[in-house]
Amino acid sequence: MQEHIMYEQFKVEQKEIGLFSEINEGFTHNVLSKVNEVGIEDYLAKIEESFGHQILLTNDLFEPVINHKLKNYNKKFVSEIKHLYYGLTKRVNHYLKIESLENEIYFLFELKTKASLKGFFIIKEIDKVTEIHIQQYWATLPVLMSELVKRETINDIEKKYQQNFIYDLLHNNLDSHYSIINQGSVWGWDLSLPHQLILMKIKDQYGQINIDNLFQIERIIYNTLSKYFYKSIVVEINGLIVIIFSYEKQKGKNETKEEMKFLTNIIKDRINEQFKDKEPFFGIGRFYPQIKDLCRSYQEGKLALQLSTKKTTITHYEDLGITRLLASLHREQIVDFSQEYLTDLIVEDKQQNTELLTTLEVYLNENMNLKSTADKLFIHPNTLRNHIKKIESTLRVDLQNTEDIVNLFIALKIRSMNINNN
C-alpha cells in the first residue's frame, strides 16, 4: 500500500514536468521499484550489461552525475558525444540520433523540465538498438529525471552549508581548529594542509558586478586548477567568488606568490575566452600556512581587489606597497591629506585647460627623469621644465625637496585609490 502511494505521488510529479508516459506506466513502475531496491548506479550498470549498449547519465554540461560504475565509460566517449550534440543531429520522436565520423551511432535523450534542460541519457549502439529498446529506455526517463532533480536539490542544500561554513571561516567566526578540520573532512576537504586564497569579482560591459553563469565559471576554475593537480573550493560570498586550494607540500613565499599570479592569469584567460562580455578582476592575499589564518588572507585579498583597475586586473596584496598602509587609515583623514596637496593643481587644470596633475604624476613615476617624462608626455623637455615650475608655484612646493616629493607621491597614491567615491 505504501509503495502504491509513493508511485502515485511520483506519477503526479512527473506529469507536472511533462515526462510521464501512460503507455509505459507499468514498465516505469518496475524501474522505480528496482532503483529503490538497488540504487541508480547498480541499476544502470545492470541494464547496460543486459542490453549490450554503452549508456551514461550526465548533467546539462555532459558531466557524469553518479559515481560511474558503468564498465565502458571513458572521457573520450563523453567528449565525442558532446561535440556531436552541438553539431549535426537528427531528431527522431523523443530522442536525438547522432552518427559520428567513424559511423558510430549514439542515441541521446534530453532530460528536461518545462523550465530547463537538466541533463542527458546517452546510449552508444554496440549491439543493435531496437524500437523495443527505445521504448524501454523512454520509460526509464522519468526515474532518471527524478534522480537528477533529487541530486540537484541535495547539491544546492550542501552548497549552502559549504557557503555558510566558508563565510564563518573567512570572518573568523570559528573558534576551534579541530572543528574546522573535522567539518572540512565531511566534504572531502583536507583543511590541515596549507591553503591559498584568491578573490574574484566579475564586471559586465556596463561596469556592474555580475555573477550570472556562476556554475560555468566555477567549472572553469575547478578544471583549470585540477589540470595543475590542485583540489579547489569555490563559493560565492556577497557577490565575490572565493577560490581556495591546498598545497600538498610547503612552498617558499616568493614561489607561492609567483605561482598564484601564474594560475590566476590562466583562470582569467579562460573566463575571457568563454565570456566576451565579462571582465574578471582578482585580489590575492598573502599565503598563511595555518587554515585559521585564512581570514587574514581574505581581508588582504578584498583590499587588493578593491584597489584593482583595468590596468591591473590581477592585484597581489604585497604589490600594493604603501597603499595597503594608507588603506588602513581613517578614510576622511587620507582624503583630506590628498586634497590639501592637490586641490589647487586640480583647480588650475580646470580653469586653464591644462594637464599639470598628469604631468606631476608621470614625473614622479619616472623618478623625476626629464627625458623619460617628456617622452611619455610627448612634449619637449623645455616645455616640461616650464610645467614643473608652474606646478611648484601653484602648489607652493619644491620638487627638489624630499619631504615635498614624498607628500605629493602619497597624495597622488591616495587619489588613485578612488576612495573619494567609496
The two beta strands, 240-246 and 195-203, are antiparallel
Going along the chain from its start, the domains and CATH numbers come out as 2-151 (3.30.450), 171-320 (3.30.70.270), 331-421 (1.10.10.2840)
User: Cβ(62)–Cβ(81) under 8 Å?
Assistant: yes
Residue 359 three-state SS:
helix
Alpha-carbon gap, residue 268 to 227, rounded angstroms: 15
Say if residue 409 is exposed, middle or buried (CB neighbours under 10 Å; 0-12, 13-18, 19+).
middle
The per-residue pLDDT for 94 is 67
| Whole-prediction pTM | 0.66
Q: Where are the alpha helices (DSSP H) in 214-355?
A: 214-227, 253-274, 294-306, 322-327, 331-352
The two beta strands, 279-284 and 314-316, are parallel
For 75, the grid coordinates are 572521457
The per-residue pLDDT for 241 is 94
The per-residue pLDDT for 173 is 92
The per-residue pLDDT for 68 is 52
The per-residue pLDDT for 23 is 43
Query: SS3 for 88-114, per residue?
Result: CCEEECCEEEEECCCCCEEEEEEEECC
Say if residue 282 is exposed, middle or buried (CB neighbours under 10 Å; 0-12, 13-18, 19+).
buried
Alpha-carbon gap, residue 237 to 168, rounded angstroms: 11
Considering only the C-alpha atoms of the chain, give the largest distance between any 2 of them, rounded to a whole number of Å. 98
Beta bridge partners of 22: none
User: Cβ(236)–Cβ(163) under 8 Å?
Assistant: yes
> pLDDT 10s digit of each residue in the chain, 422 long?
434 444 344 444 444 444 444 445 566 777 777 777 887 788 888 888 888 888 888 888 787 876 555 555 566 777 777 877 877 655 555 678 887 777 888 888 888 877 778 888 888 887 788 878 887 788 788 888 888 888 888 888 999 999 999 999 999 998 888 899 999 999 989 999 889 999 999 988 777 877 778 888 988 898 888 888 888 899 999 889 999 988 866 666 677 888 888 999 999 999 999 888 888 999 999 988 889 899 999 999 998 888 777 678 899 998 888 887 787 778 888 889 899 989 999 999 999 999 999 999 999 989 999 999 999 999 999 999 999 999 999 999 999 998 899 889 889 988 887 654 43
Q: Where are the alpha helices (DSSP H) in 205-293?
A: 214-227, 253-274
Q: Where are the alpha helices (DSSP H) in 127-248?
A: 131-170, 177-186, 214-227
The per-residue pLDDT for 176 is 86
Alpha-carbon gap, residue 268 to 365, rounded angstroms: 28
The per-residue pLDDT for 89 is 59
